Chains A and B, each alone.
Chain A
Amino acid sequence: MMEIRTPKTHKAKRVLEKRAPKLVENGKKTLILHGTKTSATLSAVLMELYRLKKGGAIKYSRRNENIRPFESGGETSLEFFSLKTDCSIFAYGSHTKKRPDNLVLGRMYDHHVYDLIEVGIENFKSLLSFSYDKKIAPHEGSKPFICFTGEGFENVPELKQLKEVLTDLFRGEVVDNLNLTGLDRAYICSAISPTKVFLTHCAIKLKKSGTIVPRIELVEVGPSMDLVIRRNRLPNEGLRKEAMKSSKDKPKKKLKNVDQDDVLGKRGRIYIPEQEVGKNPLPDKSKGVKRERREGKLKKNKEEGSASKKQKESE
């Protein structure tokens, strides 16, 4: 009583194939949503985060009352949205008296919550408040530089996790080839104290220097904010090990016994194992065993039998 359902259109099939688990994955998409109450700063933060990640982010505008990432039952809505939109990172903003301007950054593995980190936003400066030459404005979707400064990122476990999450968030797609003229943005994260990280977004100006390598100049284009670490949740060891498993652990098999030659072209080598005469049973391809011959023989026998019967009767 199960039915096999396959997509009826090519487009649907392509979408399903895109979302299927693969060896080399697509870039992670970000889901941006907010809870019951948001402040002006928080809604501005979410909006600008969406703009920075345009093309790889989905923003929900309604408020979600039943999402509580740190409670055991409050993640079901998030997991459902992640499944429907195929997003593996989410940014959930909420504003309460106890936790003002709260932003929860989380990641998903197989559409289940993998890890969470909660930060409070302070000293937020919107990108509209920065004035700069419009020519150097970064283009949408360009691959950014990500810089971390401060010993806190190595020593404090929460900051370590935040470093990983921010890398995942800002990284975008993993590419093989990069166009050097398309480098125009950088995210600077500095651990100014064991609980505070200063995050800012800058545009890159390439200036002539004597060598091939140009001199880099950074101009702040915004937004910039202070992230204060609040709560966090690390992934289970088992889940972490599984998620970190990559296909490159086993190196690709080298193609053996094939070589290319300019004169002769592609050549292969075949190794034939030793023939053990008399050991393996050979298929019986003898003439007498073939089907047509067998059936023909049967017919002949029948005819002969009936003919002989007739003879007997006549006799």
Chain B
Amino acid sequence: MDTDMDQIYQTDVGNLLAFNPNHRFPSTPSSREELVKECVTEGTKLVQAIADTLFNFPSTESVDGPLVQLPPPTTKLPREKHLPRPKPPTKWEEFALKKEAKKDKIVSDETTDKFKRRHGYDRVNDDNDIPVIEAKASDEPGEDPFAKRLDDKKKRVGKQEKNRLQNLKTAAKAGALPSHVQLAATALPISGTKTQPQKIGKDALGDVAGLAATSTASGGKFDKKLPGEKPPKKQGKHHKYLPVVPRYGWVDEEKEQTNKVLGKLLSKHSHEILNVGKAINMYNDKKEKKKSGRSDKLKPKKDITKKKPYANKAN
């Protein structure tokens, strides 16, 4: 009886799934309860069918109970994510293929005739292990060869980082970026010049904001300030007024100022201070302007022929 049922039903033991395609429910349901009952009885039959196959599997005893090995599910369901894509070969791997090069993990050391590892503890050519570097004929006198070695290493490390970034970029293009790596853009892409756009500092921003504020109609006096924005620095003309009453024990600054000017005028070399040529030119220009009449385009020209009403009437 059980085998007959299996033939009628479609079972997928891996998913604990059973499907009975042959049952026909009455089109006019008798009552809700009866319908429910019928569904549950049909369901019971299906579960029994799966349980038959399941309990007949070879089981291993474990702490919690009998364990049974489930077969893989037969119903095909769509995947959640795409299949992992193959990584494109890195630059080193391409080179290694072409030149059949190898980078062994254990390399023979030249100084001691032993085999040491390439990276890590007690490695070949460690920078800290070199006691003496012999001077070569090509060395400059002021150069520190130890520092040079460290510099070279830094350069190599930097180059390697660049290569690593390039490899990851090609992998990202192929959609095969490793799961723990993310590539993030730190700046806008280059357009036009090669120089990177400079970051504006706090002071420069403050100056620009001040300029923008003063160019408004009310001179920036009533602008709403953002939280944290500092009030504008002293605007307008910067006057420095000397104290009227000199401070006790201090030099009278105003006196000093006038004395300075007088001294310059009355000194022996006063004629050298005054630029006589320039003074003459200025005087002549002024005279000519007065003669020709003021050609001030901003001032509206007064029409002399027009008479003011009631201007010359006596009484």
Footprint of B on A, CB under 8 Å? 1-7, 13, 16-17, 19-23, 25-26, 28, 88, 107-111, 114, 123, 143-151, 153-154, 163-164, 167-168, 171, 174-183, 186, 188, 190-193, 198, 200, 202, 204, 212-218, 220, 224, 235, 240, 242-248, 292
Contacts and interface: CB of A to CB of B under 8 A. Distances in A.
Residue from A17, A164, A180, A224 with most neighbouring chain B CB atoms (10 Å): A180
8 contacts: A6-B182, A16-B180, A151-B22, A180-B65, A180-B67, A188-B43, A190-B23, A190-B43
Given A193-B25, A216-B44, A217-B44, A153 B19 contact: yes
Interface stretch (B48-56, B117-125, B286-294, B300-308): B48-56
A179 B15 CA distance: 14
Contact of B187 (A1, A23, A114, A174): A1
A246 B183 contact: no
Given A2-B186, A216-B47, A202 B40 contact: yes
Contacts of B182: 4-6
Contact of B189 (A1, A19, A108): A1
Contacts of B77: 164, 167-168, 171
Given A23-B83, A179-B66, A204-B47, 10 more contacts: A2-B183, A3-B184, A6-B181, A6-B182, A25-B80, A146-B15, A148-B46, A192-B39, A202-B43, A216-B48
Please indicate which of the listed interface residues B29, B78, B182 has the most CB atoms of chain A within 10 Å of its own CB. Answer: B78
Interface stretch (B161-169, B219-227, B256-264, B272-280): B161-169
Contacts of B83: 21, 23, 245, 247
- Residue of A13, A145, A147, A292 with highest tally of chain B CB at under 10 A: A147
Given A5-B182, A23-B84, A148-B19, A192 B70 contact: no
A5 B168 CA distance: 11
A126 to B, nearest CB: 15
Contacts of B110: 292
Interface residues of B, number: 70
B48 A25 contact: no
Which 7 pairs show the lowest CB-CB distances between chains A and B? Answer: A20-B179, A188-B43, A181-B65, A243-B78, A147-B46, A21-B81, A190-B39
A28 B22 CA distance: 31
A214 B47 CA distance: 11
Contacts of A146: 15-18
B76 interface: yes
A204 B24 CA distance: 24
Contact of A6 (B39, B62, B180, B188): B180
Interface of B: 14-25, 27, 29, 32, 35-36, 39-40, 42-44, 46-48, 50-52, 54-56, 59, 62, 64-70, 72-73, 75-84, 110, 164-165, 168-169, 179-190, 196
Contacts of B188: 1
Nearest to B64: A179
Nearest to A206: B51
B101 to A, nearest CB: 12
B183 A3 contact: yes
Nearest to B187: A1
Contacts of A216: 44, 47-48, 51
Given A28-B80, A190-B39, A192-B29, A181 B47 contact: no
B39 A198 contact: yes
B75 A167 contact: yes
A19 B182 CA distance: 14
Contacts of A17: 179-180
Contact of B15 (A109, A150, A171): A171
Given A4-B181, A186-B47, A191-B25, A110 B81 contact: yes
Contacts of B186: 1-3
B15 to A, nearest CB: 6
A310 to B, nearest CB: 17
